[in-house]
C-alpha cells in the first residue's frame, strides 16, 4: 500500500468520509445559515462559491492538512524557483515566468529567464502591430486579412480557446483568425476555402518543427500559397513560425525575423502565454494579450502567497481530491454559461487529462488510488437540453464547475439575465433536488388524482446532493480569462503534487505516434503488414483494397 493511503492525513479523511455518510446538502445548509459566507472566496475578478459540496469545516481542515502533509507548499515554491520538477524529462516548469508582470527574477539553472521572455514579447508586439496596421503586407503588397494558425495540442487548443473567448474584443471586419490542427485534410481544405492567398498569413506552431500533423498541414498550406501566387519567394511574407528549429524553418522558407522562440521549460499545454499566443496577439492586439498575461500573473501571486485554506486553486484541487478519492467520482463536468467560452472544456480536457492521467508515481511505482478525472463539458444552456438529464437523475454523480459572468458583453434584451437565472437554478436543482413527497404535492396541486400522482411522482423526483462549484466572473475580459486559466493550471498542479505524479510529462501520447508511422508505411505499400496485429492488418488490407488507394 502506498505512502499516500497509509498517511495519517489520508486515514483521517477516510474516517471522516465514513462518519459523513448520509449527510445531505439540505441538512448542511439547514444547520448553517452562514454556509455561503464560510465556503466562498474572492480572488481579483473571480469569485468562487463552493458551498454546494458535501463538506464541513472539519472536511476542509482535513483536506488542507493532507495538502500540507503532501508538501504542496514545497512543490509550489519549487516550481516558482525554477527547480526541475518535471523529473522524467529533467526540466523546470516555469510557464509562470511567461506572464510575470513583476520585477522579480525567474531563474533557470541560476540564470534569469525574464530578459529573454521580454525580448520575445517585444518582438511579438512589433510583428503583430505591423500585421494589424497593414505595414507587413503580403507578397503582392496587399493587406493581411486572415491569419491561419497551424498547430496541434497545446499549439492549437489554447490560442483557439482564447481567440474565441475574447472574440468580442477583435475586429473581424479587418482581421480574422483561423485554426487548423487535424491532419484530416478536411480541416485544412475547409479553412482555406474562400481565403485569398494574397491576404493570408500562416503561423506554423511547432517547437521542433517536426510534429507530423502540423508539418503535413504546413506543407499543404505552403503548396496552396505557392500555387496561388506562382512564386516560391511569397513564402517569406506569408509564413511565420513559433519554433526553436531555425534550420528547419529557414529550409521551409520562413524569414529568421519571423521565427519566435519558446523554451523547454514551457510545456505545450501551458504555452499559450508564450509566442504560441502569436495568433492571439495578431487577432486581438498585443495590449489585450498582455492584459491576459496580467490576469494570469494576478492568479499566480494569489496562489504563491495565499494560505492554503484561503487559496482558490488549492481549494478547487482539494474538492476534486475529496470527490475522486473519497467518493469514487471519476468524472468532472465544466459548464461555462458563456458562448464565448465554448472551447474552454476542450482546452481544460488537455490541461487536466494529459497532466494527471497517470498511473505511475514519481518513484516509478504503480499507484493504488485514483488520479485525474475524465473531464468534459459544453456551454449552458445548450447542455441543459442534452446531458443534464444524467446529471440530475442518472446513476452517476458528476461534480461540476459552473462558470458565468455577472455582467455580459452585450445589452440584448433579457438574454443575460435569463442565462444567469438558468445557471443559478441548475446549481440549486442539482444540490437540493425534489423529494418524492414534494413531487406528490406538486402533482396534486395540478389537479391530478392521487393514484396518478403516486404513479408519476418517482419520475418527477430529483435526488439532489449533486455537488457543484460556481465561478463567478465580474465580466469576461482578457484579465479575468487569464486569471481563470491560471486558476485551473494551478488546480491541476496541486492535485498532481498530492498524488505524487509528474503533471508535466505526457509519455502516454508517444506509443500511438510510433505505431502510426509503421501503419502509414503499410498503407503506402512501403512495408509488409506482417508485423501488425490481426485486427489492424485486416483493416489496413480493407483500406488498401479500395479503388484509387
pLDDT confidence of residue 53: 98
Give the mean pLDDT of 508-533.
91
Taking the CA atoms of residue 229, residue 234, residue 240 and residue 243 in that order, the dihedral angle to the nearest 10 degrees is 110
> pLDDT tens, 208-230?
999 999 999 999 999 999 999 99
Which one is catalytic: 34, 247, 385, 410? 385
- Sign of torsion, CA 158 97 244 239? positive
Mean pLDDT (whole number) for 437-444: 96
Question: Cβ–Cβ contacts within 10 Å for residue 7, how many?
Answer: 15
Position 548 scores a pLDDT of: 72
Structure confidence by residue, pLDDT tens digits, 444-469: 999 999 999 999 999 999 999 999 99
Task: For 248-263, write each residue's pLDDT tens digit.
Answer: 999 999 999 999 999 9
Q: Which of 513, 521, 524, 549 is catalytic?
A: 513
d(CA 181, CA 258): 21
| Angle, helix 57-69 to helix 8-19, in steps of 10 degrees | 160
Length of the chain: 549
Residue with cell 459544453: 378
Calculate mean pLDDT across residues 340-355. 98
Question: What average pLDDT does range 127-152 have in this prediction?
Answer: 97
For 75-114, how does the pLDDT look when each residue is reduced to its tens digit (9 = 90+)?
Answer: 999 999 999 999 999 999 999 999 999 999 999 999 999 9
Distance of alpha carbon 395 from alpha carbon 431, whole angstroms: 15
Q: What is the mean pLDDT of residues 185-213?
A: 96
> What is the largest distance, in Å, between two alpha-carbon atoms of the chain?
82
135-139 mean pLDDT: 96
pLDDT class of 73 with cuts at 50, 70, 90: very high
Contacts of residues 249-256 at CB distance under 8 Å and 24 or more positions apart, as own/partner, are 249/204, 249/209, 252/204, 252/209, 252/218, 252/222, 253/222, 254/204
- H-type alpha helices, 177-243: 185-192, 212-229, 235-238
What does the pLDDT read at residue 513? 87
Active-site residue among 354, 416, 489, 490? 354
Per residue in 162-172, pLDDT tens? 999 999 999 87
Amino acid 171: pLDDT: 81
Contact 142, 199 (CB under 8 A): yes
* pLDDT beyond 80 at 383: yes
Active site residue 513: yes
Q: pLDDT digit string (tens) for 357-372?
A: 999 999 999 999 999 9
pLDDT in tens, 311-347: 999 999 999 999 999 999 999 999 999 999 999 999 9
Active site (annotated) includes residue 354: yes
549 pLDDT exceeds 80?
A: no
d(CA 511, CA 136): 42
**Average pLDDT for residues 375-402, to the nearest whole number?**
97
Q: Is 95 a catalytic residue?
A: no
Q: Which three cell numbers stand for residue 281?
A: 496577439
Percent of the chain scored above 90 by pLDDT?
Answer: 96
389-432 pLDDT tens trace:
999 999 999 999 999 999 999 999 999 999 999 999 999 999 99
Amino acid at each position: 500500500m502506498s505512502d499516500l493511503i497509509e498517511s495519517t492525513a489520508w486515514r483521517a479523511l477516510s474516517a471522516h468520509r465514513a462518519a459523513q455518510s448520509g449527510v445531505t446538502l439540505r441538512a448542511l445548509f439547514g444547520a448553517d445559515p452562514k454556509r455561503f459566507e464560510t465556503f466562498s472566496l474572492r480572488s481579483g475578478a473571480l469569485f468562487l462559491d463552493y458551498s454546494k459540496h458535501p463538506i464541513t469545516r472539519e472536511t476542509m481542515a482535513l483536506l488542507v492538512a493532507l495538502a500540507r502533509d503532501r508538501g504542496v507548499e514545497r512543490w509550489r515554491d519549487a516550481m516558482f524557483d525554477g527547480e526541475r520538477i518535471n523529473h522524467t524529462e529533467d526540466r523546470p516548469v516555469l510557464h509562470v515566468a511567461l506572464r510575470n508582470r513583476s520585477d522579480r527574477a525567474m531563474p533557470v539553472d541560476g540564470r534569469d529567464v525574464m530578459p529573454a521572455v521580454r525580448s520575445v514579447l517585444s518582438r511579438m508586439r512589433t510583428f503583430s502591430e505591423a500585421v494589424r496596421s497593414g505595414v507587413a503586407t503580403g507578397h503582392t503588397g496587399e493587406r493581411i486579412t486572415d491569419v491561419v494558425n497551424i498547430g496541434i495540442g497545446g499549439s492549437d487548443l489554447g490560442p483557439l480557446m482564447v481567440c474565441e473567448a475574447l472574440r468580442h474584443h477583435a475586429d473581424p471586419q479587418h482581421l480574422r483568425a483561423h485554426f487548423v490542427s487535424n491532419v484530416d485534410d478536411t480541416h485544412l481544405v475547409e479553412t482555406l476555402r474562400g481565403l485569398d492567398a494574397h491576404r493570408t498569413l500562416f503561423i506554423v506552431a511547432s517547437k521542433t518543427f517536426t510534429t507530423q500533423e502540423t508539418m503535413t498541414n504546413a506543407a499543404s498550406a505552403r503548396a496552396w500559397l505557392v500555387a496561388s501566387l506562382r512564386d516560391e519567394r511569397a513564402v517569406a511574407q506569408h509564413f511565420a513560425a513559433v519554433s526553436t528549429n531555425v534550420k528547419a524553418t529557414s529550409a521551409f522558407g520562413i524569414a529568421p525575423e519571423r521565427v519566435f522562440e519558446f523554451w523547454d521549460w514551457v510545456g505545450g499545454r501551458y504555452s499559450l502565454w508564450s509566442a504560441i499566443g502569436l495568433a492571439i496577439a495578431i487577432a486581438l492586439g498585443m495590449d489585450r494579450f498582455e492584459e491576459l498575461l496580467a490576469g494570469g500573473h494576478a492568479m499566480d501571486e494569489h496562489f504563491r502567497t495565499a494560505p492554503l485554506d484561503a487559496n482558490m486553486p488549492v481549494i478547487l484541487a482539494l474538492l476534486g481530491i475529496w470527490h475522486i478519492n473519497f467518493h469514487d467520482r471519476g468524472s468532472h463536468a465544466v459548464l461555462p454559461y458563456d458562448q464565448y467560452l465554448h472551447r474552454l472544456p476542450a482546452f481544460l480536457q488537455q490541461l487536466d487529462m494529459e497532466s494527471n492521467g497517470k498511473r505511475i508515481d514519481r518513484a516509478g511505482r504503480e499507484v493504488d488510488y485514483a488520479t485525474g478525472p475524465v473531464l468534459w463539458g459544453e456551454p449552458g444552456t445548450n447542455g441543459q437540453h442534452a446531458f443534464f438529464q444524467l446529471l440530475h437523475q442518472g446513476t452517476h454523480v458528476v461534480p461540476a464547475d459552473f462558470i458565468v459572468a455577472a455582467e455580459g458583453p452585450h445589452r440584448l434584451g433579457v438574454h443575460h439575465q435569463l442565462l444567469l437565472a438558468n445557471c443559478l437554478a441548475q446549481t440549486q436543482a442539482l444540490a437540493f433536488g425534489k423529494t418524492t413527497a414534494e413531487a406528490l404535492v406538486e402533482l396534486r396541486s395540478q389537479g391530478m388524482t392521487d393514484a396518478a400522482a403516486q404513479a408519476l411522482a418517482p419520475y418527477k423526483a430529483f435526488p439532489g446532493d449533486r455537488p457543484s462549484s460556481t465561478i463567478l466572473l465580474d465580466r469576461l475580459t482578457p484579465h479575468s480569462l487569464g486569471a481563470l486559466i491560471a486558476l485551473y493550471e494551478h488546480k491541476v498542479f496541486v492535485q498532481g503534487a498530492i498524488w505524487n505524479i509528474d503533471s508535466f510529462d505526457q509519455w502516454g501520447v508517444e506509443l500511438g505516434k510510433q505505431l502510426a508511422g509503421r501503419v502509414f508505411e503499410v498503407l503506402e505499400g512501403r512495408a509488409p503488414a506482417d508485423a501488425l496485429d490481426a485486427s489492424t492488418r485486416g483493416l489496413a488490407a480493407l483500406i488498401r483494397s479500395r479503388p484509387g488507394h
